[in-house]
Structure 1
Amino acid sequence: MPATAYALLAIALWTTLASLGTALSHLPPFLLTGVALVIGSVPSWPLVARDRRAWKVPPRTLALGIYGLFGYHFLLFIALRHAPPVEANLVNYLWPLLMVVLAPVLLPGVSLRPLHVVAGLLGFAGAAAAILGASGGATAAGNTRGYWGFLPALASAFVWASYSLGTKRVAAFPTSAIGLFGLVSGVLSLGCHAVLEPSVALSARDVVLLALCGLGPLGAAFFAWDMALKRGDARQIGILSYITPLGSTALLLLVTGRPLTWTIVLAAWLIVSAAVMGTRAR
C-alpha cells in the first residue's frame, strides 16, 4: 500500500474528529479523551502479545507520545465545548503552519525565510477571522465563554506541531508503539477523570460514538499516519494534510446545521493558503 494511500486514510479519519467531539461534548473531557485513546490502542495489543519489543521505547520517547496524544486531544475537546466548534476547529488546524514556523526552533539546520513570515501572518489572520466571525454570535447571546475557548484550540495546534517535530529528535520507534502512547495517555486521562470530574452514565449512543472516535481518528489514523511518514516523502504527505481542515469544517457545518458564512470561508482559505505557502518555502 503506497504512502499516499496511508496518508489519505488518516486524513479521512481525522476529518470526523471535531464532529465526534462536538457530539460527545456533554461528556467530561478527561473521560472522553481517556476512553477514546484506550480504545484506539487496542489494534496494537495483539502485536505486543506476540512480541513485547513492539512497545519497547525509551522513556523520553514515551513522554513525547503522551504529551502529543494526551495533551492535543484534551485541549481540542476543551476548545470544542467552550468555543463555536467550526471556528475552534479552524484555529486548531493551524498546526501544519506551526510545524513550519517552529521547525527552525526545534530542528537543527533549518532556517526561517521571509516567505515563512508571510505565511505566519496569513495563518494568524485566518485564526482572527474565525474568532471575529464567532464573536458576534457570542456577544449577542450574552455569552463570553467563546472568547477564551479559542486559547485551548491554539494550544492544541502548538502541541501537535511540536509533538510532530519532536518525533524527529528522538530515536526511531516502531509504528506499533503508537498503541503504547495511546494506552498510557488514556489511562492517565481516566485517572484524572476519577479525581477531578463527576462520574456520568454513558448512554448506548455515547458508547457507539466513543468506539467510533477511538477506533477511527484516535486510533487507526495515528497508525496510518505513522506508516505514511515512514514510507513516503514527509513534505508531500504534509501538503496532503491541508485537506483535513476543509473536510473537517465541511462535515461540522453539515452536522451542526450551520450555514456557510463568508468569515468561515475566508478563515479556511487563509489558513490553508498559509500552510501551503509555508511548506513551499522550505
Structure 2
Amino acid sequence: MTRSRATMVGFVAVLLWSLLALLTVGSEPTPPLLLNAICFSIGGTLGLIWTAASGGLRQLRNVSWRVYAFGTVGLFGYHALYFSALRLAPAAEAGLIAYLWPLLIVLFSGLLPGEQLRPGHLIGAFLGFSGAALIIAGGGGGFQTQYLPGYGLALLCALTWSGYSVLSRKVGDAPTASVAVFCVATAVASWILHLAVEDTVWPQGALGWASTIGLGLGPVGLAFYVWDIGVKQGDIQMLGTSSYAAPLLSTLILVGAGIAAPSWGLAIAAALITGGAVLAARASLSS
C-alpha cells in the first residue's frame, strides 16, 4: 500500500470519530466502563471475524505480548478517560481539551526517526487547533472549577491517544489484525472493572442502544483498524493535522440533527481547519 493511500485509509477513522461525541451523549446514562465493555465487545468480535475470514489468525501467534499490552492500554485508557470526561464535565469544554491530541501527534511525531517537523506542520496545526477550539468552545461559558476532574481526565485522554498513535510506529511490524486482540482484551478488562466499581445501568430505549451499537461498529470499531493502517504506513503528521476535521464534521452533524444552529463562527472555523490542512499537506509534499 502506498503512503498516500494509507493516509486516506487512516482519514476514514477521522470521519468515524466525528460521530463519537454525539453517540456518547446518546448513550447516557450508561457508565463509562460498561460503555467501554459493550462497545469493545462489538468492535473486537467484528475484528476477529474479519481476521478469521481473511486467514489472518495464524499471524496473531507471532505478535509479542508487549505489543498486545501496548495496544490494550492505549485503547482502554483513551476511551475510559474520554467517556468519563464527558460524564463529569460539559461536553464542549471537555471536548476542547481532549482534542489537543491531533496537535500533540503532529508535535510528537517530529521526534520519530525519519520524520521532520517543518514550519508548515506547526502553522497548520496551530490554525487547525484554533478552528477546533472555535467550534467546541464557541458560545460556552468558560471553564468552571467544579468540572476540573473532568478537564483533567480529558487532558490525560489527549496525551494517551497522541502517545499511542505516535508510538505505534515503534510496533509498525505488528499486523493490523492484532487490533482485534486489543479490542477483545480491552472489553475483558472493562467488564471486570465495571463489575468491581460501577453500578450496572444499561442503555435506555432504542436511542440508547442504537448509539451504543453505533459506537461499537464505527468510532470504537472499524476506526481503529483503519487508523492503525494510517499511522503505521501513511503520513502521520498529515493525519494528525487533518484530525481537526473531526470536530468540524461533528458540529455539522449536530447542526443537521437540529441540536446546534449554524453560525458565522462555524464558517470561520471551517476556513481555519481547511487552511491548516492545506498548509500541512504542502509541508508533507515538500518533505
Provide TM-score, normalisation by structure 2.
0.77
Which AA in structure 2 matches 1:176? Answer: A
Cα deviation 1:40-99 (Å, max 9, x = unaligned): 011222334853433642122112211221111111112222333234334322212101
What SS class does the counterpart of residue 46 from structure 2 fall into? helix
8 Å contact kept, 1:48–1:54: no
- Measured in 1, the distance between the counterparts of 2:60 and 2:219 equals 22
Stretches of structure 2 lacking an aligned partner (at least 5 in a row): none
Cα deviation 1:93-114 (Å, max 9, x = unaligned): 2212101222345x24656666
Which AA in structure 2 matches 1:179? Answer: A
Give 1:18's aligned residue.
Answer: 21
The answer to whether the aligner puts 1:61 opposite 2:67 as a matched pair is yes
| Superposition pairs of residues 151-162 of structure 1, within 5 angstroms | 151-162=152-163
Residue of 217, 220, 226 corresponding to 1:224: 226
Which AA in structure 1 matches 2:179? Answer: I
Q: How big is the shift at 1:255?
A: 4.7
Stretches of structure 1 lacking an aligned partner (at least 5 in a row): none
Cα 1:273/1:71, change in 2 over 3 Å: farther
Cα deviation 1:162-182 (Å, max 9, x = unaligned): 001111112511111111011
| Superposition pairs of residues 1-282 of structure 1, within 5 angstroms | 2-3=5-6, 6-46=9-49, 47-48=51-52, 51-54=57-60, 56-105=62-111, 107-108=112-113, 133-135=139-141, 144-205=145-206, 206-229=208-231, 232-255=234-257, 257-260=259-262, 280=283
Which AA in structure 1 matches 2:73? Answer: Y
Provide TM-score, normalisation by structure 1.
0.78
- Measured in 2, the distance between the counterparts of 1:180 and 1:55 equals 11
- Measured in 1, the distance between the counterparts of 2:271 and 2:151 equals 19
8 Å contact kept, 1:10–1:224: yes
What SS class does the counterpart of residue 168 from structure 1 fall into? helix
Which AA in structure 2 matches 1:199? Answer: T
What is the aligned-residue identity percentage? Answer: 37
What SS class does the counterpart of residue 152 from structure 2 fall into? helix
Which AA in structure 2 matches 1:70? Answer: F
Q: RMSD between aligned alpha carbons?
A: 3.5
Cα 1:126/1:16, change in 2 over 3 Å: closer
Cα 1:62/1:271, change in 2 over 3 Å: farther
8 Å contact kept, 1:14–1:221: yes
- Measured in 2, the distance between the counterparts of 1:122 and 1:262 equals 17
| Length, aligned pairs only | 276
Cα 1:220/1:127, change in 2 over 3 Å: closer
8 Å contact kept, 2:40–2:184: yes
- Measured in 2, the distance between the counterparts of 1:216 and 1:207 equals 14
Which AA in structure 1 matches 2:42? Answer: I
- Measured in 2, the distance between the counterparts of 1:229 and 1:264 equals 29
8 Å contact kept, 2:45–2:180: yes
- Measured in 1, the distance between the counterparts of 2:126 and 2:245 equals 20
Cα 1:232/1:126, change in 2 over 3 Å: closer
Which AA in structure 2 matches 1:214? Answer: G
- Measured in 2, the distance between the counterparts of 1:223 and 1:270 equals 29
- Measured in 2, the distance between the counterparts of 1:4 and 1:113 equals 18
- Measured in 2, the distance between the counterparts of 1:93 and 1:203 equals 28
Q: How big is the shift at 1:191?
A: 0.9
